[in-house]
C-alpha cells in the first residue's frame, strides 16, 4: 500500500513537473530571453538618441564625421541583437517586418548623413539628423516598446498557468508534510549537536592560538631584550673603549703628523657614529627607559628620537592623572605605538602626527592620528605589523580600531581596560 501511494504521488508529481517545464521552457524562458534582447535593442536606441543629441550640441567641437565609428559600433551591436531576437520572437510577422524595415531605413539614412558631412555639407547633415534621423529613432523605439508590452502580456498568461500548476502541487505536498517535519526536526537536532561540538573545537583552537600568540610575543620580547642588552653592554662598551683609546692616543702624541691626526679624528668620528647607531638600535629593540621610567618616560624619550630620525613632526598630548601600568602591559602598548608610528613614516605621506595618551578611570587610551592618505591609500604588504598590533591588543583584553579621519588621514585608537592588566600579568 505504501509503495502504491509513493508510486502514484511520484507519477502525479512528475506529470505536474513536466507540464510546468513546458510552460517555463516554451513560454516563460523564451519570452524572458526575448525581452532581454528587446531591452538590449531599446538601450542601444537610447544611446543613439543621446549620441544624436550630442552631435547637435552647439558646444561640441567635433564635426559630424567624428561620430561615424561610434555609430558603426552601435549598428553592429543593434543588428546582432535584432538577429538574435528574431529567432526567439513570437510576435506578428507584420510587426517583425515593420521593425526590420525601419531599422534598415534608419541605417541607410545614417550612411547618407555621414556622406553629406564628409562632402562638406555639415549644416544640411545636421538638419537631416533633426528632421529625419531622430524621428526614425523614435519610431524604432515605439515598435520595440510594443513588442515588450506583448511579451509582458504573454508572461502574465504563462504566470497564471504556472500558478495553477503550483496550486495542484501544493495540494499534494501536504500529504508528505508530517514526514518532512519529522525529518527536519531530526536533522536539526543532529546539526545542533554537531555545531555545538564544532564550536567547542573552534573555541579550543582559539584559546590555543591566543596562548601561542602570547608565547611567541613573549619569546620575541625576551629575544629583543637580550639582543638589546648585548648591543648596549658588549658592543657599546667596546666602541666606547675604542673611542677613549683614540682620544688618549691623540692627547699623548702631540708630535703626530697632521695627516695622521686627521685620520685618528676621522676614525674617532666613525666609532662615535657607530656607537650612536648601536645605541639607537638597542633602544628600538628594547627601551631601557620603559623598564625604569614606565610608559610615559619611554614616550618622552622615543617620540623626539622618532621625530629626528624620520622628519615627521610629532605632537604629544597627555590627559588625565598618570597611572602605573604593569610592565608587560606597558611593553605591549609601547610596541603598538612603535608600529603605528612606523606605518605613518612609511605609508601615510604625512608631515605631522599627533600622539594622545589619555588616562581614564577604567581604561588607558592611546591614539595615533596622521594627516596622510589614510587606510584607503595604504596597501599593506605581507608584513605582520597590523596583525601583531591586533594580537597585542587581544592579549591586553583591549580594543584596537583603525579609523579614517573625516578631514583625511588615519587614526589608530587603542583602548586598554585597567582591570585587565592584573589578569594579563597573572597569565
Question: Both 172 and 310 in a single domain?
Answer: no
- Residue 243, in any domain of the structure: no
pLDDT at 179 (0 to 100): 63
Grid coordinates belonging to 171: 495540494
Question: Both 23 and 166 in a single domain?
Answer: yes
Grid coordinates belonging to 322: 598618570
Can you give the CATH number for the domain in which 21 is found? 1.20.120
203 vs 50: CA distance, rounded Å: 60
Residue 333 CA to its chain's centroid (Å): 28
393 vs 92: CA distance, rounded Å: 72
CA 337 to each of CA 59, 342, 391: distance values in angstroms, whole numbers, following the listed order: 56, 9, 14
Question: Both 170 and 299 in a single domain?
Answer: no
Segment holding 113, helix H or strand E? helix 93-118
pLDDT at 9 (0 to 100): 67
pLDDT at 425 (0 to 100): 46
Burial label for 307, CB within 10 Å (0-12, 13-18, 19+), is middle
Cα Rg of the chain (Å, integer): 40
282 vs 240: CA distance, rounded Å: 15
Grid coordinates belonging to 172: 499534494
Q: What is the pLDDT along the chain (427 residues), one digit of tens a residue?
A: 656 766 666 777 777 666 666 666 666 677 777 778 888 888 888 888 888 887 777 666 678 778 888 888 888 888 888 888 777 777 667 777 778 887 888 888 888 888 888 888 888 888 888 888 888 888 888 888 888 888 787 777 777 777 777 777 777 767 666 666 766 677 788 889 889 888 888 888 877 776 776 677 667 666 776 676 676 667 767 777 787 777 777 777 766 677 777 777 788 788 778 877 777 776 666 666 777 778 888 888 888 888 888 889 999 999 888 877 888 888 888 889 888 898 888 888 888 999 999 998 888 999 999 988 877 655 554 456 788 888 888 888 889 998 887 667 888 999 998 875 554 544 4
pLDDT at 221 (0 to 100): 66
- Residue 80, in any domain of the structure: yes
Last-in-domain residue among 179, 205, 232: 179
Q: The domain containing residue 339 runs over which residues?
A: 288-427
Can you give the CATH number for the domain in which 389 is found? 3.30.565.10
pLDDT at 60 (0 to 100): 63
- Residue 395, in any domain of the structure: yes
- Residue 89, in any domain of the structure: yes
Domain total of the chain: 2
Last-in-domain residue among 179, 195, 219: 179
pLDDT at 158 (0 to 100): 72
Question: Both 167 and 294 in a single domain?
Answer: no
Q: CA 7, 9, 14, 19: dihedral to nearest 10 degrees?
A: 140
Question: Both 158 and 293 in a single domain?
Answer: no
How many distinct helices (H) and strands (E) make up the chain? 13, 5
**Phi, psi at 56, each rounded to 5°:** -90, -5
385 vs 416: CA distance, rounded Å: 19
Sole residue written with cell 553629406: 116
CB-based burial, 57-88: b 16+ in 10 Å, e otherwise:
eeeeeeebbebeeebeebbeebeebbebbeeb
- Residue 42, in any domain of the structure: yes
**Phi, psi at 365, each rounded to 5°:** -115, 125
pLDDT at 63 (0 to 100): 80
Last-in-domain residue among 131, 163, 179: 179
- Residue 261, in any domain of the structure: no
CA angle 127, 128, 132 (to 5 degrees): 125
Amino acid at each position: 500500500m505504501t509503495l502504491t501511494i509513493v508510486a502514484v504521488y511520484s507519477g502525479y508529481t512528475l506529470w505536474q513537473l513536466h507540464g510546468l517545464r513546458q510552460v517555463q521552457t516554451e513560454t516563460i524562458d523564451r519570452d524572458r530571453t526575448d525581452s532581454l534582447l528587446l531591452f538590449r535593442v531599446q538601450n542601444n536606441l537610447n544611446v543613439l538618441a543621446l549620441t544624436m543629441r550630442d552631435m547637435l550640441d552647439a558646444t561640441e567641437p567635433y564635426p559630424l564625421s567624428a561620430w561615424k565609428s561610434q555609430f558603426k559600433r552601435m549598428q553592429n551591436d543593434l543588428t546582432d541583437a535584432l538577429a538574435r531576437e528574431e529567432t526567439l520572437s513570437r510576435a506578428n510577422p507584420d510587426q517583425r517586418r515593420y521593425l526590420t524595415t525601419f531599422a534598415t531605413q534608419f541605417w541607410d539614412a545614417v550612411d547618407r548623413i555621414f556622406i553629406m558631412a564628409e562632402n562638406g555639407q555639415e549644416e544640411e547633415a545636421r538638419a537631416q539628423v533633426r528632421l529625419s534621423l531622430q524621428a526614425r529613432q523614435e519610431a524604432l523605439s515605439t515598435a520595440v516598446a510594443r513588442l515588450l508590452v506583448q511579451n509582458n502580456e504573454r508572461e502574465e498568461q504563462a504566470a497564471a498557468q504556472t500558478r495553477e500548476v503550483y496550486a495542484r502541487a501544493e495540494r499534494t505536498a501536504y500529504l508528505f508534510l508530517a514526514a518532512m517535519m519529522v525529518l527536519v526536526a531530526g536533522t536539526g537536532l543532529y546539526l545542533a549537536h554537531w555545531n555545538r561540538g564544532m564550536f567547542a573545537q573552534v573555541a579550543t583552537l582559539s584559546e590555543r592560538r591566543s596562548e601561542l600568540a602570547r608565547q611567541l610575543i613573549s619569546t620575541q620580547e625576551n629575544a629583543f631584550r637580550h639582543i638589546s642588552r648585548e648591543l648596549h653592554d658588549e658592543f657599546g662598551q667596546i666602541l666606547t673603549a675604542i673611542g677613549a683609546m683614540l682620544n688618549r692616543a691623540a692627547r699623548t702624541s702631540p708630535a703626530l703628523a697632521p695627516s695622521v691626526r686627521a685620520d685618528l679624528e676621522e676614525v674617532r668620528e666613525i666609532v662615535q657614529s657607530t656607537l650612536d647607531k648601536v645605541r639607537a638600535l638597542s633602544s628600538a629593540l628594547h627601551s631601557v627607559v620603559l623598564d625604569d621610567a614606565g610608559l610615559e618616560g619611554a614616550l618622552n624619550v622615543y617620540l623626539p628620537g622618532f621625530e629626528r630620525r624620520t622628519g615627521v613632526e610629532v605632537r604629544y598630548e597627555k590627559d588625565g592623572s598618570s597611572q602605573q601600568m604593569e610592565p608587560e602591559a606597558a611593553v605591549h602598548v609601547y610596541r603598538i605605538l612603535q608600529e603605528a608610528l612606523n606605518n605613518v613614516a612609511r605609508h601615510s605621506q604625512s608631515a605631522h602626527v599627533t600622539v594622545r595618551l589619555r588616562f581614564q578611570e577604567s581604561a588607558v587610551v592611546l591614539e595615533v592620528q596622521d594627516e596622510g592618505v589614510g587606510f584607503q591609500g595604504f596597501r599593506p604588504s605581507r608584513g605582520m605589523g597590523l596583525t601583531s598590533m591586533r594580537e597585542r591588543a587581544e592579549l591586553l583584553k583591549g580594543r584596537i580600531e583603525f579609523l579614517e579621519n573625516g578631514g583625511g588621514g588615519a587614526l589608530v585608537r587603542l583602548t586598554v581596560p585597567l582591570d585587565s592588566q592584573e589578569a594579563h600579568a597573572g597569565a
